[in-house]
């Protein structure tokens, strides 16, 4: 494999592809994804379940199913290419240089070990310290993520924590080695709304404190709205729109993003309003439709003169780093947004 | 009168005796005596070498004689045992008033004095029998054996509740006080009406009716002395006080026991027992197949049951001349047969019964029991050849190859009005593979003339009491045929025939071995025999009964049993006596 | 150990098409699932081999008389001329195997082992199928009732299952099969024995099915579509028969298939211990029991033993494949 | 905790009652319903020569004339308070728990059971050690190397293992390796040397039964472990452990195995409990005089007190094994609370 020269970005993905051959066909979970992320910045990756957003981040950490995955492309982390790096090297980075916060803290923590033990374990992998030192560190971390009486709760088991506390503990565990890259996979999905807000606040504070790069993966645009600098919208294993948070929220150009925005519950709308669902179901990653993956559900597909079902659209830059993967000309997209979609979102 | 001999084959719980295993051979778990092979070579034998004469005679004492038993004793208590082999073996630790001579062949049928100085002296009417004990007899603990101990021992046998297994002869024949229930329940009762002991050396038995063959009963284990002070009832079998040459050293009921010389046994008082080995060991519940291999290898000496080799070993032993040379084909006084019930239609018709007898494949029957050597000789009548009075005759010739005469069978079927055959059932004991084979063989054979048999297995424990031996059950369930077998307690026509041909032993409640014979002539002849004291004169009568039963075709004889005994390596002084129909355990010794 | 399948479709945010058509929707999904499963199963060559053997064995059992007519001899017929009268062992090498007697003959009576093995398939499969059916019926009914009713009903049924699981089942089965008389309930002969064995085997195995079905019912009970049906006022029987059972079909199918080989072994064990179907009706376990007495003639044991092995293996292979196909997560 | 154990004990006693009632019913109610009289039933315990009077006496002695429920009550009374037994010249007390006296040998049942227990126990323990080590080991390796040649070979053998009846493998093993032939390297069936007498002979004599029995169970456990491991290794917490940067070996042993083994502990408890109550088929095949063979022989002879003794003992073993498993479970899995 020829490896392109390193980049100046802290994290850069180049044409990453993660495919899984199965009995039923080749599953293209991630199909040519590229993005970059700098220290101290936050990237939100948004998409429905099955869009490949989780696999992407697992791929970065090397946690995808290695047995049967076919991986190509490049992942550069702080000057090191991870796809071609030996497993041991990647493992050495995991937990220390890059860490992950998982969606469901109850199932993501081992039910048989105490919270403290699990944090201590994480800490001692990368820091040769005694158990008691590690324990002190664990209590310290628990305190920093806002768990009351950490010196006592450190010996509790995950099931003895409430949902929010568990997620805090999960974060404490992920941050225990002071990682430079933190990936949070649906960090708040399993939590109720008030706790969600607390956790998001906590993550923002901690990111500032540790100055790490943060990737937030979610299907909920509301979550990324608060935290992200940039947003990447994934659909069918591909990036279909990428831009700054403002771009995505105020000038989205892809019909799918419009749909996402339309289905987002918003405080400024009447609670009685029905959400606007996106019609149809996400594509199977085995039999990706020919042409634009979104075309079967796209209300504007007819405007491309058959292109959308015939050809895969390229990800093209629309303006100032805002990239869109759509056959419609940028002007037409903007006019539809301005005239049809935006007013509907605002008024209904 | 109830004389109920039974030497019925020992129930080995055959259903699940599997498990095979190896002879000690290369490196087994057993103790392999170093020079076993050489010794075997020294005393090279030939087939049937121990049948009529002593094989490897010896008077040399010493060594350990090892017995194995695939099952377990019914009881070691002389009052509570009824297996043929236990009566053979018990003479090693118990002495009855008289005993069968320990000698090869027919000589072994003679009764000789044991505890007594001479055979019983009958009164003229044969109702009183007097025995005088030898002097200087002692138990293992040195205390003297007296006539009172014999009296006490016999009185114990009356307690059927405590000792249900033993024979009932003494209880039935002696003149016991009314309602006497044995020494425990009728404590202190005066039983002088049955047994008197005028002094320590004299014992007098008083019978209800005359009986000229009382010595046969006196040789049974029931007259072996039991010291009253040491009697522990059902637990006495854990340590029987020895009056013979060996006494118990260690006894684990259900597992095995060992015996050592009894220091207080005096050879001078006992002309019958050479008592060669120094020590005797018995293992119980030995895997039957394993046992044969160990016998062949010399790891153990004797299969104590005397049942002969297992089916698996049979092929091996008979096909190897060297192995065959180490066996004896003992003739038993036992008949394997099938009852043909005239109470079940259409077998109430004699021609239908004759059709069954003609259609029988005798060779198949023999095969079911294991063939010529381990099964026995094809039987054409009831009395086995070694029982006095035996006459060879064949009323239903089965053709040159012994597979039956189908034409005759069809002829009789037509006569009985069932030209196309009929349907009936055949009962057998589920636990006995050979009886199963017999039933299957008969099903095949009779099927050839259209007689359709359905197999009915029953548990052997209830076979006679609830099923095949219960007349009403037989009729209701159409048990036209039932597989059966019979052996006698002592070599005598009466002992062999009475229980299976006397119609008066059939009880409505079930339990008798006679299932099918109800012939008034035969009953009369049996009664006739009772008043005849001369055994010689009785012989023609036994043959006459035999023929009469066969004429009625109510018994389908199968085989006169034989057993293929493995003459364990290293045995000395080996012989089969006609009274035991297996190796005589009193005589055995071992090479050292 | 395997969490059976998950039949619920993907749930989009805002997917509100459920409601009244939920039942039909589930049915449609069920059908397509079975199609998917079948497609998967067809690709699983090992499972298909198992299925082929199973089908073959069923055909053998059904057409036993025909097969024996063509290639063997009547299974009860004695061929004593094939047996050495002295040693009682079959004449010739390898237990008398020849073109005439494909698997050789039995010692002592010379019956055709091939025919007996073929006929043995009948008893073995018949009892295994019927016993499985009985277990499945009892297990499903009690499992659904326990899972759906909950409360004390659940407690009682669950305790009953515990009791059954702690029983020394084999000992009980032997005892029960041993004491039942030869004629009862108007039945006799093979019919009675087969019924009895079906009852014993089926009756002792139900807790295994019931436990799984109960667990499934518990989780299904809380599912959206059941809630939906309930909120629409559906009655219990409707929910059980239209909502629960279709979703329980897959686990039932899987565990029934995996119970069959267990039951074949159970029947063989009982026949081996002498409490199975009465002789001379051939059974594999019974033949093995006979063979023990003639271990010097190993072919006598090997053919019925292999028959048991092959049958059980085939069902296990097929059952495993079926589970994989219906529940891909278990792979 | 204390209340938990008390509750479990009550449940255990209830279960023993049910088990004993069912056993009793099988032997007394079924024959009665089939039309047997007390004398008829007693006659099987007095030998073939017995007269009707003897049978009647025996029926009286064995208590067959009482209604079944009274007989059962007496039996339970014997277990709780002990019983008295008339041995002829006197009366003997059989202390609680008195499991009665054999109908046939008239020996007390309890010492018999104590005598047989070491055999079955030796068989079960030895086999269990082998099958747990081999089965779990193979299962783990198979799961980790899923799809590899090893996995496929191991699972094929395991599937074959669970498809073979033990009385067939036992028979073949004996014929091939034990019965007098050139390969007769193993001990014959029916030999048992107590470990206290000679540990080497003890093991040597039990090797074949151990291996045969363990083969069957190891196959099942390998399949279970593999499936459990596959399930567990798909758990989120395994991913978390990897995300921490743990070495794969630690992930498997510390995180994976612990989760996968807990359900196996439950199954092991049940299996082992039933096994030490009598490995019926193995003991029959190898003629080992253990509890299982004892039970089968007792059934063949209709010796009810013995059958009752073994079944009750087995039930006790299963209950105790389950209790231990549950307690162990609470130790292993902190989510389980004993209350």
Q: Please provide the average confidence, as pLDDT, over all residues in chain C.
A: 76
pLDDT in tens, C121-140: 888 899 999 999 999 999 98
Write the CB contacts of C219 (distance below 8 Å, at least 6 apart in sequence).
Answer: none
Q: Please provide the average confidence, as pLDDT, over all residues in chain A.
A: 81
- Give chain D's domain count: 2
Mean pLDDT of A253-275: 68
Residue D52: which of B16, B26, B509 has the nearest Cβ? B509
D258 CA to chain C: closest CA distance, Å? 15
Q: How many CA atoms lie within 13 A of B405 on its CB side?
A: 15
ipTM: 0.74
> To probe the interface with D, which of C124, C166, C267 has the most D CB atoms within 10 Å?
C166
Mean pLDDT of B518-530: 87
**Which residues of chain D have a pLDDT value below 50?**
none
Let me know whether D252 and D223 are in one domain.
yes
A184 pLDDT band (50/70/90 cuts)? confident
Q: Is the CB of residue D58 less than 8 Å away from at least one CB of chain B? A: yes
pLDDT in tens, C98-126: 777 778 888 877 888 888 889 988 888 99
* Touch criterion met for B and C (3+ Cβ pairs within 8 Å): yes
B window 446-505, beta carbon within 8 A of C: 454-459, 477
Q: How many CA atoms lie within 13 A of C204 on its CB side?
A: 23
B433 pLDDT band (50/70/90 cuts)? confident
C-alpha span between C268 and C260 (Å, rounded): 12
Let me know whether D39 and D181 are in one domain.
no
* Touch criterion met for B and D (3+ Cβ pairs within 8 Å): yes
State whether D49 and B4 contact (CB < 8 Å): yes
State whether A281 and C43 contact (CB < 8 Å): no
Q: Is the pLDDT of residue A273 over 60?
A: no
**pLDDT, position B91:** 94
**pLDDT, position B278:** 93
Q: Of D98, D131, D165, which closes a domain?
A: D98
C4 pLDDT band (50/70/90 cuts)? very low
C-alpha span between B157 and B180 (Å, rounded): 11
C-alpha span between B379 and B372 (Å, rounded): 11
Residue C43: which of A23, A49, A275 has the nearest Cβ? A23
Write the CB contacts of D75 (distance below 8 Å, at least 6 apart in sequence).
Answer: D20, D24, D100, D308
Encoding tokens for residue A336? 């539809």
Specify the 3-state DSSP secondary structure of D36.
coil
Which range among A332-346, B132-146, B311-325, C212-226 shows the weakest confidence by mean pLDDT?
C212-226
Domain boundaries, chain C: 43-330
Name which residue leads in pLDDT, A176 or B342: B342
Encoding tokens for residue D276? 């030490």
Let me know whether D94 and D118 are in one domain.
no
> To probe the interface with A, which of C13, C17, C39, C40 has the most A CB atoms within 10 Å?
C13
Question: Among all residues of chain C, which has the CA nearest to that of A49?
Answer: C12
Q: Of D36, D67, D98, which closes a domain?
A: D98
Domain boundaries, chain A: 106-178, 252-346
**pLDDT, position B476:** 86
Question: What is the DSSP annotation of B29-47?
Answer: SS---TTHHHHHHHT---T
Q: Is the pLDDT of residue B14 over 70?
A: no
> To probe the interface with D, which of B1, B29, B240 has the most D CB atoms within 10 Å?
B29
Mean pLDDT of B572-592: 89
**pLDDT, position C270:** 87
Residue A277: which of C10, C15, C40 has the nearest Cβ? C15
Q: Is the pLDDT of residue B21 over 50?
A: no
**pLDDT, position C18:** 29
B5 pLDDT band (50/70/90 cuts)? very low
Q: Is the pLDDT of residue B143 over 90?
A: yes
Provide the CA B343 distance to its chain's centre, in angstroms: 29
In this structure, is the dihedral angle defined by the CA atoms of residues B155, B158, B164 and B169, taken in order, positive or negative?
positive
C window 238-277, beta carbon within 8 A of D: 261, 265, 268-269, 272-273
Find the domain containing D214 and state its range. Answer: 110-338
C-alpha span between D289 and D300 (Å, rounded): 15
A window 42-101, beta carbon within 8 A of C: 48-50
Q: Is the pLDDT of residue B404 over 50?
A: yes
Neighbouring chains of B at 3+ CB pairs under 8 Å are C, D
Let me know whether D65 and D89 are in one domain.
yes
Residue C12: which of A24, A276, A281 has the nearest Cβ? A281
Question: Among all residues of chain D, which has the CA nearest to that of C261?
Answer: D163
Provide the CA C16 distance to its chain's centre, in angstroms: 42
Q: Is the pLDDT of residue B18 over 80?
A: no
Mean pLDDT of A48-52: 79
A140 pLDDT band (50/70/90 cuts)? confident
Would you say B455 and B440 are in contact if contact means Cβ atoms under 8 Å apart? yes
Let me know whether D19 and D114 are in one domain.
no
Question: Among all residues of chain A, which has the CA nearest to that of C12?
Answer: A281
Helix residue spans in A66-192 (DSSP H) = 87-93, 105-108, 115-126, 131-144, 150-153, 163-175
pLDDT in tens, B345-394: 889 999 999 999 999 999 989 988 888 888 889 999 999 988 888 899 99
Let me know whether D327 and D280 are in one domain.
yes
- Architecture (CATH level 2) of domain C43-330: Orthogonal Bundle (1.10)
State whether C280 and B455 contact (CB < 8 Å): yes
Q: Is the pLDDT of residue C20 over 50?
A: no
Would you say A286 and A25 are in contact if contact means Cβ atoms under 8 Å apart? yes
B554 pLDDT band (50/70/90 cuts)? very high
List CB contacts (< 8 A) between A266 and chain C: none
Q: Of D47, D76, D98, which closes a domain?
A: D98
Provide the CA C210 distance to its chain's centre, in angstroms: 15
**pLDDT, position B450:** 92
Q: Which of C278, D208, D124 is CA-nearest to residue B287? A: D208
| The dihedral formed by the CA atoms of D255, D258, D259 and D264, expressed in degrees to the nearest 10 | 160
What percent of chain B is modeled with pLDDT above 70?
Answer: 92
**Domain of D173: which CATH number?**
1.10.3720.10
Encoding tokens for residue A166? 């568990």
Write the CB contacts of C275 (distance below 8 Å, at least 6 apart in sequence).
Answer: C173, C174, C177, C178
Residue B208 DSSP symbol: S
> To probe the interface with D, which of B3, B21, B76 has the most D CB atoms within 10 Å?
B21
**pLDDT, position D49:** 53
**pLDDT, position D180:** 56
List CB contacts (< 8 A) between A277 and chain C: 12-16
**pLDDT, position B354:** 93
């Amino acid at each position: 494999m020829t490896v392109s020269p390193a980049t100046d970005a802290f994290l850069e993905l180049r044409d990453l592809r993660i495919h899984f051959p199965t009995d039923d066909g080749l599953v293209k979970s991630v199909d040519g994804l590229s993005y970059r992320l700098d220290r101290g910045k936050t990237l939100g990756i948004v998409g429905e379940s099955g869009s490949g957003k989780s696999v992407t981040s697992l791929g970065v950490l090397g946690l995808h199913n290695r047995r049967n995955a076919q991986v190509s492309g490049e992942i550069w982390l702080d000057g090191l290419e991870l796809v071609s790096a030996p497993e041991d090297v990647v493992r050495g980075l995991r937990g220390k240089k890059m860490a992950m916060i998982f969606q469901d803290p109850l199932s993501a923590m081992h039910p048989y070990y105490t919270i403290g033990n699990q944090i201590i374990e994480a800490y001692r992998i990368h820091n040769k310290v005694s158990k008691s030192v590690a324990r002190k560190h664990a209590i310290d971390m628990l305190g920093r993520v806002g768990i009351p009486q950490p010196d006592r709760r450190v010996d509790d088991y995950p099931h003895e924590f409430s949902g929010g506390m568990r997620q805090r503990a999960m974060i404490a565990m992920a941050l225990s080695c002071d990682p430079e890259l933190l990936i949070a996979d649906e960090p708040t999905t399993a939590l109720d709304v008030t706790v969600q807000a607390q956790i998001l606040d906590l993550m923002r504070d901690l990111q500032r404190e540790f100055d790490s790069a943060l990737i937030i993966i979610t299907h909920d645009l509301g979550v990324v709205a608060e935290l992200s600098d940039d947003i990447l919208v994934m659909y069918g294993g591909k990036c279909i729109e990428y831009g700054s948070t403002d771009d995505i929220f105020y000038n989205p150009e892809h019909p799918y993003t419009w749909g996402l925005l339309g289905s987002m519950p918003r405080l400024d709308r009447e609670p009685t309003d029905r959400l606007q669902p996106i019609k149809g179901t996400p594509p199977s990653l085995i039999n990706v439709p020919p042409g634009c993956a979104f075309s079967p559900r796209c209300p504007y597909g007819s405007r491309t003169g058959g292109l959308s079902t015939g050809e895969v659209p390229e990800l093209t830059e629309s303006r100032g780093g805002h990239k869109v993967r759509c056959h419609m000309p940028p002007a037409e997209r903007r006019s539809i947004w301005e005239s049809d979609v935006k007013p509907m979102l605002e008024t209904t | 009168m109830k004389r109920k001999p039974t030497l019925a084959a020992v129930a080995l719980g055959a259903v699940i005796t599997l498990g095979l295993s190896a002879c000690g051979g290369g490196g087994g778990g057993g103790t392999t005596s170093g020079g076993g092979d050489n010794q075997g070579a020294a005393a090279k034998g030939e087939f049937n070498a121990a049948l009529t004469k002593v094989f490897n005679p010896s008077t040399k004492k010493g060594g350990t004689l090892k017995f194995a038993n695939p099952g377990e004793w019914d009881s070691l208590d002389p009052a509570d045992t009824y297996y043929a082999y236990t009566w053979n073996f018990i003479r090693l630790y118990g002495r009855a008033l008289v005993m069968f001579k320990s000698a090869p062949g027919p000589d072994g049928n003679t009764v000789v004095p044991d505890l007594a100085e001479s055979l019983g002296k009958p009164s003229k009417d044969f109702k009183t029998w007097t025995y005088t004990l030898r002097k200087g007899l002692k138990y293992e603990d040195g205390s003297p054996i007296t006539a009172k101990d014999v009296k006490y021992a016999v009185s114990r046998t009356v307690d059927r509740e405590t000792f249900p297994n033993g024979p009932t002869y003494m209880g039935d024949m002696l003149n016991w006080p009314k309602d006497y229930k044995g020494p425990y329940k009728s404590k202190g009762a005066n039983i002088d009406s049955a047994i008197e002991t005028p002094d320590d050396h004299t014992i007098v038995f008083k019978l209800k009716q005359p009986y000229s063959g009382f010595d046969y009963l006196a040789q049974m284990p029931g007259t072996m002395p039991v010291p009253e002070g040491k009697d522990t009832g059902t637990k006495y079998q854990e340590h029987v006080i020895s009056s013979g040459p060996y006494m118990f050293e260690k006894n684990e009921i259900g597992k095995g026991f060992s015996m050592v010389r009894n220091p207080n046994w005096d050879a001078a008082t006992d002309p019958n027992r050479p008592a060669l080995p120094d020590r005797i060991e018995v293992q119980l519940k030995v895997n039957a197949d394993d046992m044969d291999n160990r016998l062949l290898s010399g790891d153990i000496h004797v299969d104590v049951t005397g049942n002969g080799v297992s089916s698996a070993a049979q092929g091996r032993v008979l096909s190897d001349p060297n192995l065959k040379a180490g066996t004896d084909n003992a003739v038993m006084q036992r008949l394997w047969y099938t009852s043909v019930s005239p109470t079940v239609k259409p077998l109430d018709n004699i021609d239908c019964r004759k059709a069954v007898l003609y259609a029988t494949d005798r060779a198949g029957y023999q095969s079911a029991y294991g063939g010529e050597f381990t099964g026995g000789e094809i039987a054409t009548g009831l009395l086995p050849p070694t029982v006095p009075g035996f006459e060879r005759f064949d009323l239903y010739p089965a053709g040159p190859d012994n597979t039956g005469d189908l034409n005759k069978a069809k002829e009789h079927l037509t006569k009985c009005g069932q030209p196309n055959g009929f349907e009936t059932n055949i009962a057998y004991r589920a636990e006995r593979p050979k009886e199963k084979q017999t039933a299957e063989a008969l099903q095949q054979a009779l099927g050839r003339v259209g007689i359709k048999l359905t197999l009915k297995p029953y548990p052997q424990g209830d076979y006679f009491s609830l099923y095949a031996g219960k007349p009403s059950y037989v009729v209701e369930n159409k048990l036209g045929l039932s597989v059966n077998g019979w052996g006698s307690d002592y070599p005598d026509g009466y002992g062999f025939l009475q229980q299976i041909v006397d119609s008066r032993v059939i009880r409505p409640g079930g339990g008798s071995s006679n299932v099918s014979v109800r012939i008034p002539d035969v009953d009369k002849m049996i009664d006739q025999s009772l008043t005849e004291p001369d055994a010689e004169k009785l012989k023609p009568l036994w043959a006459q009964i035999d023929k009469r039963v066969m004429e009625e075709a109510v018994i389908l004889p199968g085989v006169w049993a034989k057993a293929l005994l493995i003459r364990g390596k290293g045995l000395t002084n080996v012989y089969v006596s006609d009274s035991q129909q297996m190796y005589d355990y009193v005589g055995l010794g071992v090479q050292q | 150990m395997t969490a059976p399948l998950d039949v619920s479709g993907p749930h989009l945010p805002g997917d509100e098409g459920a409601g009244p058509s939920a039942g039909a929707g589930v049915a449609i999904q069920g059908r397509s699932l079975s199609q998917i499963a079948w497609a998967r199963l067809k690709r699983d060559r090992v499972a298909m081999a198992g299925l082929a053997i199973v089908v073959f064995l069923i055909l053998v059992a059904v057409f036993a008389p025909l097969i024996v007519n063509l290639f063997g001899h009547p299974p009860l017929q004695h061929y004593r001329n094939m047996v050495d009268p002295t040693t009682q062992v079959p004449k010739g090498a390898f237990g008398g195997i020849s073109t005439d007697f494909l698997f050789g003959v039995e010692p002592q009576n010379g019956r055709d082992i091939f025919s007996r093995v073929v006929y043995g398939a009948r008893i073995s499969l018949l009892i295994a199928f019927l016993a499985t059916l009985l277990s499945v019926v009892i297990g499903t009914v009690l499992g659904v009732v326990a899972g759906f009713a909950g409360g004390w009903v659940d407690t009682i049924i669950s305790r009953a299952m515990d009791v059954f699981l702690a029983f020394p089942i084999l000992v009980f089965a032997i005892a029960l099969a041993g004491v039942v008389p030869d004629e009862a309930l108007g039945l006799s002969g093979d019919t009675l024995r087969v019924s009895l064995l079906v009852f014993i085997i089926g009756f002792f195995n139900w807790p295994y099915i019931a436990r799984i079905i109960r667990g499934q019912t518990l989780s299904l009970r809380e599912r959206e579509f059941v809630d939906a049906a309930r909120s629409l006022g559906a009655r219990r029987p409707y929910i059980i028969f239209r909502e629960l059972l279709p979703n329980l079909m897959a686990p039932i199918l899987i565990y029934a298939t995996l119970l069959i080989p267990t039951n074949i072994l159970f029947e063989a064990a009982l026949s081996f211990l002498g409490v199975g179907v009465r002789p001379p009706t051939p059974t594999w376990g019974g033949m093995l029991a006979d063979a023990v007495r003639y271990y010097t003639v190993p072919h006598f044991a090997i053919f019925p033993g292999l028959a048991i092995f092959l049958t059980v293996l085939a069902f296990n292979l097929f059952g495993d494949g079926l589970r994989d196909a219906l529940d891909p997560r278990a792979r | 905790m204390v209340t938990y154990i008390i509750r479990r004990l009550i449940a255990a006693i209830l279960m023993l009652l049910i088990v004993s009632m069912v056993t009793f019913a099988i032997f007394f109610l079924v024959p009665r319903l089939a039309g047997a009289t007390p004398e008829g039933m007693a006659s099987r315990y007095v030998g073939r020569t017995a007269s009707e009077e003897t049978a009647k006496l025996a029926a009286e002695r064995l208590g067959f004339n009482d209604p079944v429920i009274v007989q059962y009550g007496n039996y339970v009374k014997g277990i709780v308070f002990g019983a008295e037994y008339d041995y002829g010249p006197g009366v003997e007390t059989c202390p609680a728990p008195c499991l009665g006296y054999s109908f046939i040998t008239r020996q007390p049942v309890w010492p018999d059971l104590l005598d047989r227990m070491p055999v079955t126990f030796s068989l079960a323990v030895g086999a269990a050690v082998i099958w747990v080590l081999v089965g779990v080991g193979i299962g783990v390796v198979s799961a980790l190397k899923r799809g590899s040649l090893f996995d496929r070979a191991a699972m094929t053998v395991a599937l074959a293992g669970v498809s073979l009846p033990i009385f067939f493998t036992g028979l073949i093993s004996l014929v091939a390796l034990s019965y007098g032939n050139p390969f007769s390297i193993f001990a014959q069936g029916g030999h048992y040397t107590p470990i206290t007498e000679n540990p080497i002979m003890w093991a040597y004599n039990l090797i074949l039964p151990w291996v045969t029995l363990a083969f069957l169970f190891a196959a099942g456990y390998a399949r279970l472990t593999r499936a459990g491991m596959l399930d567990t290794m798909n758990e989120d917490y395994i991913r978390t452990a990897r995300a921490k940067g743990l070495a794969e070996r630690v992930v498997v042993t510390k995180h994976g195995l612990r989760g996968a083994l807990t359900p196996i502990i439950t199954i092991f408890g049940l299996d082992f409990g039933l096994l030490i109550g009598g490995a019926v088929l193995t003991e029959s095949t190898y003629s080992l005089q253990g509890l299982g063979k004892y039970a089968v022989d007792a059934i063949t002879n209709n010796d009810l007190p013995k059958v009752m003794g073994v079944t009750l003992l087995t039930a006790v073993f299963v209950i105790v094994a389950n209790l231990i498993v549950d307690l162990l479970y609470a130790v292993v899995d902190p989510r389980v609370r004993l209350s």
